[in-house]
Structure 1
């Protein structure tokens, strides 16, 4: 039986898995482990895949920023990142040195976004923004059925933001402080601002009004620039059911009837594949190489 490999390379943990080429939705085997430095983590990845001789291709969905330009000297590398032991690490080259098979190399949000496009909340759309809101914020963008890549992959979690009038938080982003979406709305920003995690805050807390304001601004920005058919929210923070109704409400207020969009319950939606989106997307992308 030919197999597909999937690597969901997160900043906190790695998930590795294999699936049948003919049925990538069925995971044959799966493992996860904490993210260490590049060399130690890839040792664990390779040890897992060493158990299988019949892997046809592997999809890698990696935390970034990463180099996705095939004509670059550092194609396949993790670029400058605060994650210790990863800046300048040749991720793709290490995998190719282990076994020279086809690899699909992309970002973690592209992997999850591709899964949502193929079988999840956006399976009926051709133009999609998938936004993950968790430890960081990132976006996988699909335009006319293709992952969007320009000079490099999008870093749409670092959109510039207008601050909420009730928010005096200094921001979490080491590059942009309180000027960008990730610095104001990622999980660590919520926790630092309120001294409670998103899981712990009550539904009626001011935190959700402020969070919805920033995510709605982002949704407006993506709408006016990309005109997607769906905006899909994933990651840990949108698990709180109080959030997306507030985002839709604030989106309508900020858009102010300027552009026509689908009904908001169908336009701003939660992830359909849950926590499996990243690994499923890796399988689908691996299969696209065959």
Structure 2
């Protein structure tokens, strides 16, 4: 019999997948696998899950994946990767492939919805009703949590593909293969490389082109404040965690742009509304664990 307090989680990202075995927030084992082709990556994850199931056991599996994904459990293509900029992954059957290795209660959601769930349960969103988790990394995505539940609908929030007002004088066309200058095409790691001609991590904080990036980030934050009315926006991902100075610059734009329309956005201090994830890089894998715990609770209900 599988240990009833152990959960397996998969965080499937655009550049890497992280598999964890955990008891609550205590990570018992973890493995990192490069995200290459679906056959290679999912195959390696299946082998790992099979080994953990055989040697240590777990009661449920949570899968937190980049998207877009079909999340309606009644849909014929539930857990399937829809059209994605990640080459070769459109049509990959994420849920079916990984669930088959586990034969236990399983829940699938986007990586950003899962990260929002983890921060709500154990991190910077604890005690709040509404949280947005925004990730700036290989792509740009946003998870929206209301009343402790990730927001779903016809699909799930696709915040990274919002097209927003551009800064005057900014002629960068954007890098998204679908929309050009949507949020992902302007703020993701690949977008920064295309804008700067080198990795954003190598560019000095004083480079004047960061002012355009700060403007774009401010446009995205302002849209989230107006549309989702979150009590907290948490910004993670490699770009978000690695370039925290952008937050202060972007916030100045947010305050100016909203022009005192929102009473809770009335000064230059973003701490109460905007922040970094308390769980840091663990938000994603612990989000997968939170999904597995939810699947187990539903199975026992």
Which bin holds the TM-score, normalised by the shorter protein?
over 0.9
How far apart, CA to CA, are the structure 1 residues paired with 2:243 and 2:99?
40
How far is the alpha carbon of 1:144 from its aligned partner? 2.1
How far is the alpha carbon of 1:99 from its aligned partner? 2.9
* Paired position in structure 2 for 1:177: 180
**Residues 70-149 of structure 1 mapped to structure 2, 5 A cutoff:** 70-149=73-152
* Paired position in structure 2 for 1:220: 222
TM-score, normalised by the number of residues in structure 2: 0.91
* Paired position in structure 2 for 1:268: 274
How far is the alpha carbon of 1:215 from its aligned partner? 1.2
Could you list the structure 1 runs, at least 4 aligned residues long, displaced by more than 3 angstroms after superposition.
none
* Paired position in structure 1 for 2:299: none
How far is the alpha carbon of 1:67 from its aligned partner? 0.8
State whether residues 191 and 198 of structure 1, in contact with CA within 8 Å, keep that contact through their aligned partners in structure 2: yes
* Paired position in structure 1 for 2:243: 240
How far apart, CA to CA, are the structure 1 residues paired with 2:214 and 2:165?
13
What RMSD in Å do the two structures reach over aligned CA positions? Answer: 1.4
How far is the alpha carbon of 1:203 from its aligned partner? 1.5
How far apart, CA to CA, are the structure 2 residues paired with 1:230 and 1:200?
30
What secondary structure is seen at the aligned counterpart in 2 of 1:289? helix
State whether residues 208 and 242 of structure 1, in contact with CA within 8 Å, keep that contact through their aligned partners in structure 2: no
State whether residues 128 and 230 of structure 1, in contact with CA within 8 Å, keep that contact through their aligned partners in structure 2: yes
Over residues 116-141 of structure 1, what are the superposed CA-to-partner deviations in whole Å (9 max), with x where a residue is unaligned?
Answer: 11112222311011100111100000
TM-score, normalised by the number of residues in structure 1: 0.94
How far is the alpha carbon of 1:51 from its aligned partner? 2.2
How far apart, CA to CA, are the structure 2 residues paired with 1:189 and 1:289?
36
How far is the alpha carbon of 1:79 from its aligned partner? 1.3
* Paired position in structure 2 for 1:44: 44
How far apart, CA to CA, are the structure 2 residues paired with 1:250 and 1:124?
28
State whether residues 189 and 200 of structure 2, in contact with CA within 8 Å, keep that contact through their aligned partners in structure 1: yes
State whether residues 85 and 177 of structure 2, in contact with CA within 8 Å, keep that contact through their aligned partners in structure 1: no
* Paired position in structure 1 for 2:68: 65
How far apart, CA to CA, are the structure 2 residues paired with 1:83 and 1:243?
26
Is 1:280 the equivalent of 2:286?
yes
How far apart, CA to CA, are the structure 2 residues paired with 1:173 and 1:36?
20
Unaligned runs of 5+ in 2: 297-301
257-266 or 273-282, which deviates more: 257-266
Over residues 156-203 of structure 1, what are the superposed CA-to-partner deviations in whole Å (9 max), with x where a residue is unaligned?
Answer: 11111111113111110111112x111112111111111132211112
* Paired position in structure 2 for 1:249: 252
State whether residues 84 and 90 of structure 2, in contact with CA within 8 Å, keep that contact through their aligned partners in structure 1: yes
How far is the alpha carbon of 1:208 from its aligned partner? 2.3
Unaligned runs of 5+ in 1: none
How far apart, CA to CA, are the structure 2 residues paired with 1:226 and 1:191?
30
Over residues 16-63 of structure 1, what are the superposed CA-to-partner deviations in whole Å (9 max), with x where a residue is unaligned?
Answer: 01012xxx2111110001112212212211221222332110110011
What secondary structure is seen at the aligned counterpart in 2 of 1:265? coil
What secondary structure is seen at the aligned counterpart in 1 of 2:170? coil
State whether residues 170 and 212 of structure 2, in contact with CA within 8 Å, keep that contact through their aligned partners in structure 1: yes
